[in-house]
Amino acid sequence: MKQHLNSLAALAIVAAACGGGTGSSTTTTAGTTTTGAGSTTVATATTVATTTTIADSTTTEPGGGEALTMNPDGSYTIDWEALGGGVFFAPPVGGSSDPFFHVHTDPATHGFFFSVEAYTTGYGSAWTGELGDFEIGCAPTGSGICVHFDPDGPGAIADLGADFMATGDVTIVQADADGFVAIFSNVEFSDGTTIPGPFTVTG
């Protein structure tokens, strides 16, 4: 009789192992462990957040704001359209012995000074008022097209074109009593300051 009971117990253990429902099984899925006894253990994953800080880049802009920008290499970019008006323009004065077109920004308004003095006759023999491509040359034997530039307007920097040594290229698009329009490029002053361009001056 005792041996028979032991045999029945052995059969019960085998049945449980085969999924008879009386045993206890353990299943682990995606980090969550559920036991048949009803208790649940949730595996907790720890996430470490990494923060990367990028330093803001700053472009130095003199008083002209968007109209005048100093580039990383020290050169300047002029966006004439961003001036928002206030540009001075005067055509040649009739009967003058030294007539010239004059266009310039207003340092008080724009924060910088850029000026074009384009002499038609009396100064500079290579340009007499016609349209086309010419070289900047503020000398009697040059074009008589002179440029002046003061990056900080009323600030400490002086007029870089005061020595009349500026060079560069200019395409005259309009030059009459109604206005002066010219495209400048490769403008360079004697101290090495450059305005590569191209940029359009409109008066």
Kindly report the backbone phi and psi dihedral angles of residue 46, in degrees, each rounded to the nearest multiple of 5, phi listed first: -100, 120
In the chain, the percentage of residues whose pLDDT exceeds 70 is 68
Average pLDDT over residues 162-174: 96
Average pLDDT over residues 110-126: 90
DSSP 174-192: EEETTEEEEEEEEEE-TTS
pLDDT tens figures, 9-56: 333 333 333 344 444 433 334 444 444 444 444 444 333 333 333 333
- Counted residue by residue, the chain has a size of 203
Give the Cα separation of 184 and 168 in Å (integer): 7
pTM above 0.75, yes or no: no
